[in-house]
Structures are given as structure tokens and as C-alpha cells.
Structure 1
């Protein structure tokens, strides 16, 4: 049984990496280490088995196992939302029911993908999943599968159990528009790490992102600065975040880069699963040295992993 109301799912929420060992098997010990590290750093919730969690490289049973490990390690400390998106609605429903069984606080899903589905089919997909269990659902607007228009968002918001949207876009006037046209109680989460400040200023209830795995303290401080209306500080911190993110995105796989950074710090974040590439030893050395240079060039401070390099 879930512990939190979906309205508690606010603030700084990492889209959690999934920890695999070198043989690409789920590493339970590492998964537990990562979860406790993030919670101890002060994150406000956890978003599981999405794109950052390499969810689409796993079987349904593996995704369920990750959720079970996290729920056991979390022990009700923060709200947990499970991404249940899959290539077929039946698979998503199975994952949604499992999330409810193990006590998750909500579910989420990307729209149906690969084939080009029309608006009616997308609404049907979300309706069937939302009706399959009693958990509140967060729908997902992301460029990779095609952004939804305001008409589609309104239709989705009218579905019982749909309580919010994860909005990953590089323009944020839509967040204000959603709040105006759907209602203030409809939760909106900004999903672009590079634009956390913009999303919060536009009225987002929370920020969900990949890079919160490696520098949660930076985004927690961004939110504190926005809440305190200290825009000079919020802007300064966001610029630092952007420099780090853009640097990591130069890698063949920024997931591999994040996992390397966490391993350097003694947090067993494991390795990526194929077809994502891991960094070779030589590439890790080069990446580490480049991060040292980045820190010096932009005078970045207060980011734990850079302070420790």
C-alpha cells in the first residue's frame, strides 16, 4: 500500500539510474547503495525504470525486480513513482499492477512509441493503464516520442487517476498554460535538467532529471534559491549545471559518464547495458581530467563530485 499522496511528489526528484554489473545483470547491492546515497543527500522523491534507468533494455521481470529492491531500501522515506511505459499496453498494465502491489506511490509512462500513434490511440493507451490500478498516474511529454498538444493534454488530464504530467521540453510557457487551462491541482514536472530554474519559475511542482544522480546537491540548492527568490544565485547555479551537463553530453553515453563519476566517489553505480557503451579505462582517465579542467575554467564550487576530483 502506498504511503504518500501524489501531491507529496514534489521538489527535486532524480530519474534514477539502474545499476548493472559488468555482466549486465542487476546489481542489488549497488542499487541499494545508490538509493540510500540519493535519499541521504536530501532528494524529495524517486522516479524509477524510465529512460535514465535504461528501462527499455530490461525485461518486465527485471524492471519489477528493480522496483522491489528500491521499495525495500527506501522503506517509506520518500515518495516513489514507477515508470511503466512499454511497447504494448498489456505490458504496461502488468508493470502498473506490480507497482501498486509493492507499495509505490504512483506510476508514469511515456506515450506509446515506435509506430506513429494518433491522439485517440494515445489517450486510449493512458486510459487503459490508468484504469488498471488505483495508483495516480503522471503522463509524459517528451520530444523523443513527439510532444503532445494542449488539446491532448486536456483530454489526458480528464482521465480519472491522471494527476500530472512530466514535461520535458526546452520551452516552458506551456507549463503556465497547463496550470491555467487544466488547473493548479494538476501536477507539472519540468524534465529538462538544463532548464530547472525556468521550469520552477513557470510553476512546475517539481523537477525530474538524470543529472540529479551525480549532483543532487546542486539542484537542491537551485530550488532553494528559487524558493528564496534569489535569482542571482539560482542563475549562477544553473549556469554551472549547464556547463557540467553539456560536457557530459559529449560522451558516447552520458549514462556511462554518470556511472563512472559515482564509482569514483565509492558509490557502486555499476555499468550500462548494451547497446549503451561504457567508458574504457583510458576514456575514464581522459574524462576525469577534462572535468578537472572544466572546474578550473568555470570556477565551479559546491558540486561534491568535482570538489573530490
Structure 2
């Protein structure tokens, strides 16, 4: 890798619609660098406000450390400073997470993020030590990732973490949005909150979230950009309509092989994102993909969603 690149953005520059970027794999599970470049370029052209790399949607825990690093290098190279980039560096061991964090900084990322260490029932003190050590390893701001899949970070622990120098925000993927307002009130208005539940983006913004990070911004970022606009303008009626349309797409997709469906939808939009790694399921044959497309057409027509993004051109 080239010499260390300097971050171009501060944590306050992360706002708006930030896809939790998918990672492109071939059907045999190999990382596809060419597709990764293409899908990153496509989303840049569609006006996204930043990227969140190698998280849950990016199948980060399905990759080796070296593969995760390569994803970061490619995306940072393609982005070339046009939008801010946040890299999820979470791993079980502090040692590996520090290595990923140091690499992210060297590659030109603008922030790092991490779930708490998983699998073993680490104590709050051990979790706090983990975040303290990782955050101290770079000059980049750290965004704590609160998601039940990785272990609970309660309000008391989050308050403790927020006092650690360098921890400057939280990716809040939970339905308890009343707590977002409490974070802004008790931890402070400068502590950044990123709403991570796509189906509750309106709620997250209403309670004070500074931006949106999520999976479905890979396929319908324009819809969410309009939602952010409506919320900024105080147009709750319009925002509610947009959220309901997004939710119809989300809930229908969740009935499919969701991760694979998102990647196939990206391909239909001209940005092939490949396939998912096993044990995720895939639409492997032309017949399976054709059936998926037909299902979305029927869904579109039944719900009068013909004017939305990828549904228009099916």
C-alpha cells in the first residue's frame, strides 16, 4: 500500500444518506475487485453522502483481515476524497481490531467504527478497555456500533464510552429511538448519532440523529435523500409517505434472500455487486433471478410503486 493518506473529513461531515456498502463476491466466494470499483462508482454518481465499509451488510465477518483491508483500499482509491468514508474494524481481539484500524487510517479513511467484542460475555470494563485501546491506536474518530447481534451496549456503558477521548459517536441500530434524544440531551449535542434501522429512518431523524447508515441505501438512496430533505424542511407528511414506500420495499425484500436480493437489484441498476458468501443463499441461476425480478414486478404493481428507483425499469 502507498504511504499513509490523511483523512479529509471530520466526524461532523458524516451526514445524510450513507450506504453500509455491500462487498462484491463471485459465486464461488472470491472477492471481485472490479465489481467493487464499479458499484462504488455507481453509488457516487447517484449522490450518496458517504460510505460505511465492511460492516454487517458488507459481510465483514465473512472475510479475512487481508480481504477487509483490500476492500478499504479499493473504496478509498475510487472515492478519492469526494465523500467521507467510515470503516468498520470490529473483531473479537483488540490486536486484530487495532491492525484493521491502523490500516484504515493509512488507506485514507475518515473514521472508524466497531461492534463490541463478540462471542464471549465480556464485562462492561473489558468492552470499555477494548474501545479505549482501539481508539487510541489512530487519530481517527471512533463510532461505537450498537446492534443487538453483537451484544448490548446500554445507555450507561455508552455514556462511559463517550467520555473516552476519540469516541465521537454511535451507529444506533435499535428500535428504542427515544434514547437518541436522551443521548443528545445527556451525553451532548456534539456526540454524533447515526440511525442504523432503515425502516425507522424518519423516527431516527425526528429524535435527533445526524445521519443514516444502512443496507437499503445501496438500492434506493434517492428515496432516502428525499426523506432527509423532507425532514430538514419539517415536512412530516411527505417524510411519512417516503418512509412507508421504503418500508414496503424493505419488508418485501426481507421475505426473499435479502442480502442476495440487494446485490441482484444493484446489478439490475447497472452496478453488479456479485453474490453473497455462504452460508448465505444466492440467486445462482438465470431462472432464479428471473423469478425474483418477476416477484418484484408483481409487488410493484400491487403497491403502485412504479415511480421508485429500480422498480420503474423492471
Which interval holds the TM-score relative to the shorter structure?
A: over 0.9
Specify every segment of 5 or more residues in structure 2 that has no aligned partner in the other structure, as ranges. Answer: 1-5
Instruction: Note if contact 1:100-1:135 (Cα within 8 Å) is conserved in structure 2.
Output: yes
Structure 1 counterpart of 2:133: 128
In the TM superposition, what whole-angstrom CA distance separates every residue of 1:22-58 from its partner, at most 9, and x where no partner exists? Answer: 2222211111111111111111110000010000011
Specify every segment of 5 or more residues in structure 1 that has no aligned partner in the other structure, as ranges. Answer: none
Question: Does residue 157 of structure 2 align to residue 155 of structure 1?
Answer: no
Structure 2 counterpart of 1:279: 283
Tell me how far 1:173 sits from its aligned partner.
0.3
Instruction: Note if contact 2:27-2:284 (Cα within 8 Å) is conserved in structure 1.
Output: no
Pick one of 262, 265, 274 that aligns with 1:270.
274
The runs of 4+ residues in structure 1 deviating greater than 6 Å are none
Structure 2 counterpart of 1:62: 67
Per mean C-alpha deviation after superposition, the further-off stretch among 14-23 and 260-269 is 260-269
What does 1:1-309 align with in structure 2 at a 5 Å threshold?
1-251=6-256, 253-281=257-285, 282-309=287-314
Tell me how far 1:139 sits from its aligned partner.
0.4
TM-score by length of 2: 0.96
Cα gap change, 1:220 to 1:302, in 2 (>3 Å): farther
In the TM superposition, what whole-angstrom CA distance separates every residue of 1:198-252 from its partner, at most 9, and x where no partner exists? Answer: 000100000100010011111111111111111111111101111111111112x
SS of the equivalent of 1:218 reads helix
Query: Take 2:152 and 2:303, find their aligned partners in 1: how far apart are those partners?
Result: 34
Query: Take 2:165 and 2:306, find their aligned partners in 1: how far apart are those partners?
Result: 45
Tell me how far 1:146 sits from its aligned partner.
2.7
In the alignment of these two chains, the number of paired residues is 308
Per mean C-alpha deviation after superposition, the further-off stretch among 278-287 and 227-236 is 278-287
Instruction: Note if contact 1:218-1:302 (Cα within 8 Å) is conserved in structure 2.
Output: no
Alpha-carbon RMSD across the aligned residues, in angstroms, is 1.0
TM-score by length of 1: 0.97
